[in-house]
Each structure stands twice: as C-alpha cells, then as structure tokens.
Structure 1
Amino acid sequence: MAQDPPSVAVVGLGVLGLVAVKNLAEEGFNVVGFERSPFVGGLWHFSEEDRTSVLPTTVINISKERGCYTDFPFPQDAPSHCTARDVQDYLESYVEHFGLASRLRLGTNVQKVIRDEESDRWKLLVEGVDPLFFDKVVIATGAQQEPQIPDLPNMDKFSGHSVHSRSFKKPEEFKEKKVLVVGLGSTGVDTAAALVGKADKVYLSYRHGAVILPRKVAGVPFDHSMTLRKINILGFFETNYPSVFEFMTDKGLGKMSSSAFKFDPEWRIVPAPSIRNALPVISDNIVDLFRSGKVQPISHGIKQVVGSNEIEMDDGTKLDVDTIIWCTGYKHTFKLLDTAVDPTRNTSPEWETAMGSRGKPLPRLYRNVFSLDHPQSLAFLGCVAFATGAFPLYDLATMSIAQIWKGNSTLPSTKEMNLAVDAQHKMTIEIAKTGSAHPGWVNQKEWLTWANDVAGTGLNERLGWGLAGWKFWFQNRRLYSMLVDGIFTPHILRLFDGKRKKWDGAREEIERVNRSVQDMKKRRD
C-alpha cells in the first residue's frame, strides 16, 4: 500500500512562504500554507493596518531581471524597477500560474508551533480550530516582524508623536508637522522623500555615512553589471582573503556612488561603513532633496529629549520637532515557536555584548536555514543575508530544503553542523565588534555553492572547473559566455538537468533578458 507523502506546514505566505509552498509541492510533499492576513504577498501588499507593508509609492531596489523567481519572470511590459503594485500583482499571478490557491489558508492565525514528541510530529495551535499536526514545518514569517526602537533618554517628556516606520502609511497625515526621520537606510530615505511637500520640515538623522546608489547608472540598472564571473572572483577573495574582498567591494561601491552623486562634506555621507556592516542605500532623489533643503541631513544621532518638542542631538544641536519616525529596522522574532525548539535560546554571550548586535537575536541554524534540533523537519526562511534579491535567494533555499527532506541530498552529522554554526557565529560576532552586524550575514559564494549542490541545480558542475564544466564550455561556447559574463539572471538556476525540477523555458528567457539588456545599453549609447 502506497504511503502518504509527508505533510508540511508553511507559516507565512509572503515572498518566502509562497516559493516554499510551490517548491515543496513540486517535489511531492503535501503542503499547506498559513497566512494570518486575508491576502498573499506579505509586506508587498500595502495595508493601512499597523503591520509591515510597502507604501503605494514604493519602488523595488533590485531590477526585475535579477530579482524574480527562478522559473517565473516578471511581465515583459513591467519596468525594470517595479512598483509595489507590480510586485503584488506578480505574486498573485505566481499563485495562479502554479495552482497554489487550494493549498493556502488565508486569514488563519497560527499562534504556536510545538514539537509533539508522542506523535513525532509538529502541532500547530491555530486560532479558532482544533490543533493541526504536520510532519514538517517551514517558518516563513520573515525578519520584518518586530520593530526595533532604541531607548531614548527622557522619552516620557516628549509630547509629540513617535512611531516606527511600520506604522508610516499616509504621508499626508503629517501635514504642517516638523518631522525627524531616524535612520539612513533605504526605508529612512524613502520615508523622508515621501514627506516632502506634506510636512513643514523634514530632518533625516544618522550616526554614520552610507554608500548611496541610484537604481540606474547611465540609464541601465546598476545591478545588471553583476555577472557570475564577478561573483566567483569576489567569492574567491571573500573566502581566502576576506580583508582584500572587503577593500575591493567597498572601493568599487564607493566609486560607483561618487560617480553618481556629489556629496557635500558637511553631510558626512563619506566615509561609509564597510559592506559587512551596512548594505548600500538605494535612492534616486535623496541627494537632490538634501541639496535643495527639502530634507535636512543631520549627521548625528539623538542624544536625548530635553523638552516637550525639543530633541538634543549628539553634537549638542537642538531640534524643534513634533514627530519622530524610527526607521531603525526590525528584530527577527521566534516567539511563534515553543521554547524547546527556539534556535535563539542559546544565543552567544559574545554576540549579546558586541556593539553591533543591537539587541537582535542570533539563531543557531545550519546554513542559516535548518534547525539543529530537528533538521529533517524544521526549517527557517528569512535568516540568510547577502547582497542579492529575496526572490531568487529563497527560491534556491527552498529547493535545497525540498531535496534534503526528500532524501536526494544529505546533511552533515549533528557534530559537523554545530561546528559549522560555531564558525559562522564567530565571523558574525567579529563583524559586530566593529559596527552594525546582520545576524544572517553569510559568505555569499560559500553559501551559494552549498545550496546549488544540495538543490542539484547543476550550476557547480556545468559552470565549474571540472570535466563537466570543460565539456559544457567546449560544446556550448556562446551559451557558456552568456551565462558567465552576461547578466546573472535567476533563470540560470533552472537551466540544467538536476535534482530540482528544470524549467524548459529557462534558456529562451535567459537569451531574451540578455538581448533586452544589450538593447538598453545601445539606447544609452
């Protein structure tokens, strides 16, 4: 008698959860996705509620050519940098195209995930229904759930309005207000720009500089210059000569930034933190807004509140403001899990005391994906970070989960996984000692090599230095050149035969995208 396929619960149906449902179902698992909102898309679905979401004016930072799922391109008539509505429509089309709707339970609030040792399964406590049991669980609620707001001395004296950026939905509500936006990240500059023309005064406060990049350089998306060859070269240095990698990357990004914009010295945008401490800020207009005075840069952090509407900065400057908007990021929360399987229950004391940890948890996860307690049945999405788009990153991550749980690929021993996590945490803590650190930061080339191997994309073999790689180069030189030196499109991950399902349209789409990119360059010239 045939055995029923393993059941998998995917909690959260944003960008990460949707691709998990699709890739696991594609490999034969009985998948059910849960989402507390009545819609899919997570933060890409604008909501006026106090929950994380884009603004209607939001434009993506990664181009559609590099930031899509591996087997589902954005529509050809969509702009390279899509609007929030374009992305929402894209995700809804993804559900329809792959027939996922019957697997999704929208408007369903999962309150707790507990390991039930008696049944050797996972018990989901779901609001309004009896407990549900599953063989495996993917936590895909993402990193942007719990707002992080610094403790500000004398905050009780402030009589104005103080909100996290998560609650910033309608710029027009700040009409005639004097607003202090805190944080020079992509959210901070977008928030400040959205307030221009509404608020009476807009300040943007920051403690350190930033690499500021436009979405396009000379009419072409800046990320189109990233090729597989460049990733491999940078990966070699990151793995073997990390200080050289850091110097090369920081120098290259700094040059690109200074070529695109002219910064006034008093803004203190330069020098910027290293790529290891802060990702580039993507903005087409914040420099012009600084120069015009429509947004006033304050290159210092907040020291304290000194009056009902008076804020003192670190340099002693005092500002008269009646609104503070904190664009200070989020903490990755694991409250959904029973304490016994919470990967942050043994967070390193060294991490907690490092200046750059900023109170964020540091989960012990193999490859920042698999639970060390139950690697064959519990996985997490949203804990891997490097400079790339979330769509292809977590498409590959969920291919990897599917192949390991299916038994086509294997995990190391528990001892080896713990040693790998120890090494990963040591690197992360060293970064946190020098400045801000993302708990999920990984060596990009090393992580991609592992993920491509376990997912079985064929990329390591066909585009590597082994016999299969030389054979592919000899027989397909034009295609090889396009894959290695053309735009690094996510469809490469579905091109070759392998463990995961191949996409028959991958080559045609890769060639079309490369033609499109060349046309953009010709129009520029």
Structure 2
Amino acid sequence: MEGGNKNIKVAVIGAGALGLVTLKNLLEEGFDATGFERKSYVGGLWKFTRDDTTSVLPSTIGNISKQRACYTDFPFPDETPSLCASSYIDDYLQSYADHFQLRPRIRFSTAIHAIKHDDDNNKWLIDMSPVGSEASTSTETLAFDKLIIATGSNDKPSMPKIEGVDKFAGHVLHSQAFKDPKDFAGKSVIVVGIGSTAGDTAVSLVGHARKVYLAHRSGAYILPRLKDGRSLDHSLTYNRMAIQKLLQNVAPGMASKMFATFAQKLQDTAFPAIRQHPEWRLFPAPPIHQTFPTITDELVPALESGDIISVPGVRRIIGPNSVELDPTEKDKEPETLDDIDVIVFCTGYINDLGMSLLEPRANPARNTNPEWLALPGSRGKPLARLYRNIFSLDYPDSLAFMGAAAFPTPAFQLYDIASMAVAQIWGVEPHNTSSLPSLAEMNRDVDEKHAWIINFARTGPVYPQLTRQFEWLSWADAAAGTNVETNLGWGLQGWKFYLGNRRLYKLLTGGVYSPHLYRIFDSDKRKKWPGAREAIEHMNQKLEEEHNSKGKNKQT
C-alpha cells in the first residue's frame, strides 16, 4: 500500500494525543514520517507533571466515556472504567504508542525554535535543538517535504489584563500552573472562569482551601457525566446524529433550539438547584451551539453546601488582598472581597496551535479578521485561515494543523479521522483519490465560515476552532474514505448494506456511536481494521450486561 508515499518526508510537531494519531496514520499509509516532541514522553497534557507545562491533575476525570473517547482502531482495555481518571488515559496513550511502534519514529526532548519554507526547493526547514542545550551552539536544521503541527490549543495560557494586579500581595496564576490543591491549604482562593477546568479546579480546592470563590461573568450549561447510571454520551447513536444532521440542513434554527432545549432539560433534571438559586448566575447560559457545556458532577452540590461561593467576575484589584467584582446591577455599588490570597485564572489558552513557530508569512493567523477581533465574543483570540480548519491556504499541499477544528465530538476520534483525510489528500498514486478544491474555492469556503463564526461572536463568546459538525464530518468521510455515510445513508449502497446485514446495520446505527465505525467498512483509501466489528459488538454487549445488572440490583 506504500506506493510513492515512502519518498515523502513529513514532520509531525507534537506527540500528544493529536500528534500520536497523526504520526500513526501517516506511517500506516507509507509516508516517511518523523515526530518531534519537546517533552521526554508521549501523551502530552494527559500525563500529570509538576513541570511548567499544561497537564491534567491526578484528580481529573475524563468527560467522555472510554467507549467513545478511543481511537478508531484501538479500544480501551475492558478493565478501564467507562468514565476514568486521567491516569487511565495516559496509560492508554502509552499503550497506543507501543502497539503501533511509534516511539522509534519520535525525537523526544527536542525543542523547535523556528520553521520556514524554502521556496526554491519546496521544503520546510525546521530549526531544533535538544531541550536544555544552548540553541546557538547546538541547533540543527532538517528539511521536510510536508509539515503537520499537532501541538494543540492548550499550550500558551490566556491571561486577562486586570487593573491593579500589581497591588495584589497574594499569588496569581493560570490554571496551567495549578498542580496540587494541597499547595493552597488554608488560603482563600478565587477561581476565575466557568468552564470545565474552572469547575474542576474549584471542586479540587474544597477541603484544602479556607474559602473557594468561583468568579464568572456569564452563565453556563452544567451537565452531568452520568444519566440514569450510564455515561451521558452512551445515548448518542448514529441514527440520532443523522436526524440532527437533517434538521441542521433543513431548519438550522429549529435544530439549535431543540439542542438547547434538550441540554436545558438535562441540566434541570440533574441539577434543579441551578433554577432555585438565581444568585449563582448560571443562567441564562450562552448559546450551546457556539460554546461547550461545563461537564461536572460535583460543582452544583458544592455550591449548594456553600463549599464554593459563586460571585461576579473580577473587575479590578484594589488592595493587597482586595478584589472588586463586577456590579450585578446598573448604578449599584460593586461588591468587594477583602480576604483573597490566591487568584487562579481558568481563562483558557491563546489558541496559538504552534503557529508562532512559523515564519510570519506562513502563519495562517497573521491576517486575523479585524471585525472578529473587535467583537467581545472573540476574546482577542486569533482566527486562522485554514481550509476545513486543517489546511494552510498558503501551502495547502504541505502544511496542516491538528487542533484547529472543534465541535461536540471526542477529540481522539475527530483527529484520527482528520489525519486519515490528510494522509489521503497528500498521498501520491495509487492513493491520490482524494484532493483539495481550487485555491479560490478554499478561500471562499473560509470566508463563508469566518462570516458564520463572526456572527456568533456578536452574541457571546465563541471558540475560534468551532466548525460545522455535520458538514465537516461529510467532507472528512469522503476525504478519508471511511465509507460510513455511503453504507449507512439512504442511498442505493445504504439500502444494499441494510438488506444484506440487518443485524449489523441496526447495531451500527442504534448502538453506541463508536469511533470504530470509521474503520469497519472496506475502502480503496484508508486501511480497514479487521477487529472493528468485533470491538463494536463486544462494547455494546458489555454495556448491555452492565445496564441489566444495575437494573436487577435496583429491583432487589
């Protein structure tokens, strides 16, 4: 299956969850691919470390079940809990690297200093050196035909500018530097933000900090990890996705309203206290179709018990331990807190995506739309010009990014499919059955997508990575050659598959929406995984047995 791909040298920057699957899919298609990682290990942020880098906490629990969070051809072990701690996910990524023999293809402890394009030779020149060495004396430059930057979006912290912060006598830090709640024992801590990281950080401080405040300017949808004893995402099936897609295409306004209604009902059922305590200001929440919900089981009970106190956003610092909060009503004096020892900003990341490593003329965010930046909903983050949130418009045949696309789906699955698509588009005969449209068409597509996301930024915060879920999945399905929509759709091939494989069709469309679905069908493009059907059947059988067992226990 290698064809001419073995003569194409590809550099993959980053060996976290995105870089690993990208490297694996390129090697699978015969590319001469090499990974580069600043750390001494694979897995990126999923390995806890006290080093000055983004990582999970030991207490972090995955927001997505293992059945849906896995890669397309590598399930989690049976003994892994469905909703598992971060250490299990780290173990999974280590096993993935070993299973596909990726470590020998990765240069660890390697710092990338600069990347530029050699136009004369059509190569990417990467300046690098061993971590900890003097770059001026130990830098080497390697040339590659193609480049994929997979450092992700959680690298460079976004710190808001707060008036008077120089007056503060306590400790100010970003959540990236928050490593152990015990470090703040006996302190009064204000956590700034209302996303999942803010919720997890505040909850982790309970029992350690003297006081825990949660400061936020907007509301949020607070959703549980479990519903009726099962992981919330187990209710998602391919059939339900197909119905959502149809509604999105035919009546997008109605689809968004139905999705918001569903989320609201789920929140009200799981956490009725949110409605009973308007002083928490968790509603109204920003539109759920343009932001992600906060996933936590512990935050609302902690608010009810008073272990966490909800307060307005931080307006400014007015003394060594004094914080002035946003006024809750017009012409009303703002509240102040005079006992703050620590401020933890859970305010996300700049969304650099490794673009700053590139020379300016190759940086796809260099000409960020000024209309976007002027809107509060942009939060000052760059909006890169990337086709399908992957391909550079300056060098579409040789420069791509992993981490610049986002919609409500597991990241491991999304970037498995995305990197399969890149491998097919960049491959040469006999695999060059996928291609990019003309540059003019790609620019029109990006312009239209940017207008769409700018419109969202007028009404509230929005992630610059946000893209249309179903449109993107249809494109990726065709580009990667997964044949999912062909075999499970309503066309001739879909009917043939249904009539010839009714039991399997029902399982694939009505069972848990498994990532293995994208490796089950034969294709003249990407590699099929022979174990996909067995893995899907095993997963659904195990879940059914667990559900029946819980039902019997309830009855007794």
TM-score by length of 2: 0.93
1:314-333 map, 5 Å: 314-315=326-327, 316-319=334-337, 320-333=339-352
1:332-411 map, 5 Å: 332-333=351-352, 334-406=355-427, 407-411=432-436
- For the residue of structure 2 that corresponds to 1:147, the secondary structure is coil
Alpha-carbon distance in structure 2 between the residues aligned to 1:240 and 1:381? 30
User: Would you say the 8 A contact 1:112–1:125 is kept in 2?
Assistant: yes
Deviates more, 1:346-355 or 1:375-384: 346-355
Moved over 4 A (4+): none
Matched with 1:8 is: 10
In structure 2, the CA distance between the partners of 1:524 and 1:274, relative to structure 1 (3 Å rule), is farther
User: Would you say the 8 A contact 1:55–1:169 is kept in 2?
Assistant: yes
Alpha-carbon distance in structure 2 between the residues aligned to 1:113 and 1:469? 46
**Does 2:40 correspond to 1:30?**
no
**Does 2:516 correspond to 1:503?**
no
Matched with 1:224 is: 234
**Does 2:157 correspond to 1:169?**
no
Alpha-carbon distance in structure 1 between the residues aligned to 2:271 and 2:373? 37
User: Would you say the 8 A contact 2:290–2:466 is kept in 1?
Assistant: no
Matched with 1:72 is: 74
Alpha-carbon distance in structure 1 between the residues aligned to 2:479 and 2:348? 32
The amino acid of 1:41's aligned partner reads: G
Deviates more, 1:186-195 or 1:234-243: 234-243
Between the aligned residues of both structures, percent identity stands at 48
In the TM superposition, what is the alpha-carbon distance from 1:233 to its structure 2 partner?
A: 1.4
Matched with 1:107 is: 109
The amino acid of 2:91's aligned partner reads: D
User: Would you say the 8 A contact 1:186–1:281 is kept in 2?
Assistant: yes
After superposition, what is the alpha-carbon deviation per residue over 1:195-221, rounded to whole angstroms, capped at 9, x for unaligned? 111110000111121111111111100
After superposition, what is the alpha-carbon deviation per residue over 1:401-441, rounded to whole angstroms, capped at 9, x for unaligned? 00000122011000000000011101110011110011111
In the TM superposition, what is the alpha-carbon distance from 1:107 to its structure 2 partner?
A: 0.5
After superposition, what is the alpha-carbon deviation per residue over 1:79-117, rounded to whole angstroms, capped at 9, x for unaligned? 011211111111110011011111011101111111011
Matched with 2:58 is: 56
User: Would you say the 8 A contact 1:203–1:296 is kept in 2?
Assistant: yes
The amino acid of 1:14's aligned partner reads: G
- For the residue of structure 2 that corresponds to 1:19, the secondary structure is helix
The amino acid of 2:184's aligned partner reads: F
After superposition, what is the alpha-carbon deviation per residue over 1:149-193, rounded to whole angstroms, capped at 9, x for unaligned? 111111111111110000000211101110000011110010011
1:411-450 map, 5 Å: 411-450=436-475
Alpha-carbon distance in structure 1 between the residues aligned to 2:474 and 2:211? 49
User: Would you say the 8 A contact 1:212–1:283 is kept in 2?
Assistant: yes
Matched with 2:308 is: 295
The amino acid of 2:323's aligned partner reads: I
Alpha-carbon distance in structure 1 between the residues aligned to 2:433 and 2:88? 36
Matched with 2:499 is: 474
Aligned counterpart for 2:283 among listed residues 270, 277, 280: 270
In the TM superposition, what is the alpha-carbon distance from 1:245 to its structure 2 partner?
A: 1.6
- For the residue of structure 2 that corresponds to 1:223, the secondary structure is helix
User: Would you say the 8 A contact 1:215–1:282 is kept in 2?
Assistant: yes
Matched with 1:280 is: 293
Matched with 1:455 is: 480
Alpha-carbon distance in structure 2 between the residues aligned to 1:33 and 1:347? 29
- For the residue of structure 2 that corresponds to 1:109, the secondary structure is strand
User: Would you say the 8 A contact 1:171–1:194 is kept in 2?
Assistant: yes
In the TM superposition, what is the alpha-carbon distance from 1:355 to its structure 2 partner?
A: 1.6
The amino acid of 2:255's aligned partner reads: F
Deviates more, 1:404-413 or 1:265-274: 265-274
After superposition, what is the alpha-carbon deviation per residue over 1:455-481, rounded to whole angstroms, capped at 9, x for unaligned? 000112101121111100111111111
In the TM superposition, what is the alpha-carbon distance from 1:9 to its structure 2 partner?
A: 0.2
- For the residue of structure 2 that corresponds to 1:330, the secondary structure is coil
In the TM superposition, what is the alpha-carbon distance from 1:357 to its structure 2 partner?
A: 0.4
Alpha-carbon distance in structure 2 between the residues aligned to 1:240 and 1:433? 24
Alpha-carbon distance in structure 1 between the residues aligned to 2:367 and 2:325? 36
User: Would you say the 8 A contact 2:397–2:426 is kept in 1?
Assistant: yes
User: Would you say the 8 A contact 1:218–1:524 is kept in 2?
Assistant: no
**Does 2:317 correspond to 1:305?**
yes
Alpha-carbon distance in structure 2 between the residues aligned to 1:77 and 1:100? 24
Alpha-carbon distance in structure 1 between the residues aligned to 2:233 and 2:492? 31
User: Would you say the 8 A contact 1:276–1:431 is kept in 2?
Assistant: no
After superposition, what is the alpha-carbon deviation per residue over 1:463-510, rounded to whole angstroms, capped at 9, x for unaligned? 112111110011111111111111100000000001100000000011
After superposition, what is the alpha-carbon deviation per residue over 1:113-149, rounded to whole angstroms, capped at 9, x for unaligned? 1101121110000123420000000000100111111
After superposition, what is the alpha-carbon deviation per residue over 1:12-62, rounded to whole angstroms, capped at 9, x for unaligned? 010000000000000000010000001111100111011100001111000
1:109-258 map, 5 Å: 109-127=111-129, 128-258=138-268
- For the residue of structure 2 that corresponds to 1:31, the secondary structure is strand
User: Would you say the 8 A contact 1:239–1:446 is kept in 2?
Assistant: no
Matched with 2:554 is: none
In the TM superposition, what is the alpha-carbon distance from 1:519 to its structure 2 partner?
A: 2.1
Alpha-carbon distance in structure 2 between the residues aligned to 1:331 and 1:516? 41
User: Would you say the 8 A contact 1:239–1:443 is kept in 2?
Assistant: no
In the TM superposition, what is the alpha-carbon distance from 1:226 to its structure 2 partner?
A: 0.7
Deviates more, 1:66-75 or 1:112-121: 112-121
**CA RMSD, Structure 1 to Structure 2 (Å):** 1.1
1:484-503 map, 5 Å: 484-498=509-523, 499-503=525-529
The amino acid of 2:278's aligned partner reads: P
In structure 2, the CA distance between the partners of 1:331 and 1:239, relative to structure 1 (3 Å rule), is farther
In the TM superposition, what is the alpha-carbon distance from 1:275 to its structure 2 partner?
A: 1.1
User: Would you say the 8 A contact 2:222–2:295 is kept in 1?
Assistant: yes
- For the residue of structure 1 that corresponds to 2:36, the secondary structure is strand
Question: Gaps (5+ residues) in structure 1?
Answer: none
User: Would you say the 8 A contact 2:73–2:516 is kept in 1?
Assistant: yes
Deviates more, 1:206-215 or 1:7-16: 206-215
Deviates more, 1:115-124 or 1:16-25: 115-124
The amino acid of 1:164's aligned partner reads: H
- For the residue of structure 1 that corresponds to 2:140, the secondary structure is coil
Matched with 2:135 is: none
Alpha-carbon distance in structure 1 between the residues aligned to 2:543 and 2:217? 38
